[in-house]
Structure formats: C-alpha cells, structure tokens
Amino acid sequence: MTLNDSHCHFFSTPFFSALGRQMKGADPVAPHRTALERLTWESPGTSEELADRWIAELDRARVQRAAIIASIPGDGGSVSAAVKRHPRRLVGFFMVDPSDAEAPAKAEDMVDSGRLRVACLFPAMHRVSLKDERIRRIFEVMAARPGAALFVHCGVLKVGVRTKLGLPSRFDIGLGNPLDLVALAHDFPGLPLIIPHFGAGFFREALMAADACPNIHLDTSSSNKWIAYHPGLTLVDVFRQALAVTGPDRLLFGSDSSFFPRGWVRDVHDQQTRALDALGVSSDVRNRIFGGNFDRLFPIAAN
C-alpha cells in the first residue's frame, strides 16, 4: 500500500526565530536558540538539512511522499528550498495572512516559483473571515494556477509550540466555520480545497460543506481530540460518517507531524488504521485514503 502524508509541519530555523523574538530575554543574534532551548527540541539547521532529515524519517516510516507546511507567513522560502532538494518526495504548502495587502502577490510568487502548490489559510489566527473580500482574492490567485490547491484550517486551533513557550494565542475560532467555505467552493469549482482535522470540532459543518461542494476534501490528521466536543462520538464513527458523505476519494491521511526528535507520529497512523479495520473497509478504499488521493491531487511532475 502506498503511504503518503498530507499534513506535516516544516519547523524551520526561521520559524523558531520568529517564535524566539516574541520571548522575553531572547538571544538577539540567534533567537531560534532561545526557543529551542526552552522546548528541548533539536535544531533544524538549514532548510536543506531539515529536508534531508525529513526524507530519512519518511524512509524509516515507509512514507513515500509528504506535504510540508510553512507554519508562519513569509517562510515559504524554507519549504521551497526543501522541495527543490527532494521534488519527488515533498509537496510544498505555505501560509498566507490575508490581512497583508501584499498577500495575493506573494501567493502568486510562491506558486509561480514552481515548487509550492498549496496556500494555507488560518482564519482564526489571522482574524479574517472567510466571507472577507481579501480571502476571495487569494482564491482567485490560486484558482488561476493549474495544480494548485487551498488548505483552510477550520474549527479549534491550538498551536502547541506557542503554549509550550508561554506565548499567547489570541485566535477567534468563530471565524473558522466550514459552512463559510461553501459559496467560495461553488465560485471556484476547479480549485481543490482541503479542510484539516475533519473540521476540528465543526465535523457536522465540514460534512455539510463537503456534501454541497465536490471540490472540498477532508484531511484526517492529528490526534483528533476535538472528538471530545461530540459526546459519544468515536474515531470509528468519524470515519464511518465521513465515508458515507464524501466517499473514499476526498479523504486524505495526515499525521500532523512537526518537530524532532519526535519525528513522524506513527501513533496517529496506527489509530486511524484500527478505526478503518473496525469498519472493515476494503483495501481499495484504504489505499485511496492513505495514498492514492494524495497522488491524484499532487502528481509528481514529469521533469
């Protein structure tokens, strides 16, 4: 079975530097060191070194390909360098802040570079409603580029690394309702949209949106702790209902792996495997969720 991962964070040195600069008493010359020392995580080194580390980790876990996400706006260059180094193994995602007036132009540049394919929107983080005209402009840019897609984080948003560093996360999760995507999805039917974590607490709404819009996909990533907000719901139930609504072709396996030395989070894969085992899904369905749908959305370039 082909195993691909649609959700891994590329925690680069610039990412840790951005966090370090928000900490009191950070090293002004190397703020990333301050953050890493507090976290007791390994230094990522250069983008190329981190890319090599990820490839070794994917090889160890027998993961063929993975999406890597630039986890702060402006860090697309780190992911681009990683994809340039391993173009057949890594698919580049980059974060966009729609409140930045230059965001559409920056998104154009990122995709037109030829290495990044997916823009990531975090409405709760950047406090921009999905109904805002600034969001529509990002959709227009991405829809005009064949092979591009949009990742839209909906529901509960908790950034664990910020919590560990004692940094505030002033997010407005009310802005992350998947139903607010429906009009945009209808207006840009050729643009694949990915909602991670089954909607992260807005599961019902994510299913409703996906039922209405065939270009909406759900990724299965992370521990899915949001299930606690739905009394009696289990991961088995989540997969059963998602398969009943979207079918097997719009579910993308994701782990939400991010830092080292933890590396690739096998527990997430194993939990989801057990859930699908409990449902008795066919090997064909399993292959689509764990690998085939990713390869269809993000085919390896011929050159």
Q: What is the pLDDT of residues 68-86, one digit of tens each?
A: 999 999 999 999 999 999 9
Confidence check: pLDDT of 272 > 80: yes
pLDDT at 141: 98
Environment class of 42 (CB within 10 Å of its CB; exposed 0-12, middle 13-18, buried 19+): middle
pLDDT tens sequence across 14-23: 999 999 999 9
Residue 2 pLDDT > 70, yes or no? yes
Number of domains in the chain: 1
If residue 77 lies in a helix (H) or strand (E), which one and from where to where?
helix 76-85
Domain of 71: which CATH number?
Answer: 3.20.20.140
Q: Assess whether the previous peptide bond of 178 is cis (omega < 30° from 0).
A: no
Q: Tell me, yes or no, whether 303 lies in a domain.
A: no
Residue 301 — pLDDT band, cuts 50, 70, 90? confident
236 within a domain of the structure (yes/no) = yes
What 8-state DSSP symbol labels residue 56?
A: H
Q: Each residue of 170-209: pLDDT tens digit?
A: 999 999 999 999 999 999 999 999 999 999 999 999 999 9
Average per-residue pLDDT in the chain?
97
Residue 277 domain-assigned? yes
Distance (Å, whole) CA 15 – CA 69: 11
237 Rama class: left (phi>0) / alpha (psi -120 to 50) / beta: alpha
pLDDT at 55 over 80: yes
Q: What is the pLDDT of residues 202-224, one digit of tens each?
A: 999 999 999 999 999 999 999 99
69-128 residue pLDDT tens? 999 999 999 999 999 999 999 999 999 999 999 999 999 999 999 899 999 999 999 999
Gap between the Cα atoms of 292 and 288, Å rounded: 4
Position of tokens 């529901």?
A: 155
Average pLDDT over residues 273-298: 98
pLDDT score for 123: 98
Segments forming the whole domain that contains residue 292: 4-297
Four-point Cα dihedral 24, 30, 32, 34, nearest 10: -40
- d(CA 119, CA 159) in angstroms, rounded, equals 18
302 is a domain residue: no
Instruction: Identify whether 29 is part of a domain.
Output: yes
Which residue in 199, 65, 69, 181 sits closest to 132, CA to CA? 181
In a domain, 239, yes or no: yes
pTM: 0.97
Contact assessment for residue 98 and residue 76, using Cβ atoms and an 8 Å cutoff: no
The strand ranges marked E within the chain are 4-10, 65-70, 90-96, 116-121, 149-152, 193-195, 216-219, 251-252
Query: What average pLDDT does range 278-283 have in this prediction?
Result: 98
What is the reported pLDDT for 1?
Answer: 86
- Helix, strand, coil proportions of the chain in percent (round to 5)? 50, 15, 40
Residue 172 pLDDT: 97
Q: How confident is the model at residue 303 (pLDDT cuts 50, 70, 90)?
A: low
Residue 107 lies in a domain: yes
Percent of the chain with pLDDT over 90: 98
* For the chain, percent of residues with pLDDT exceeding 70: 99
**How confident is the model over 293-297, as a mean pLDDT?**
98
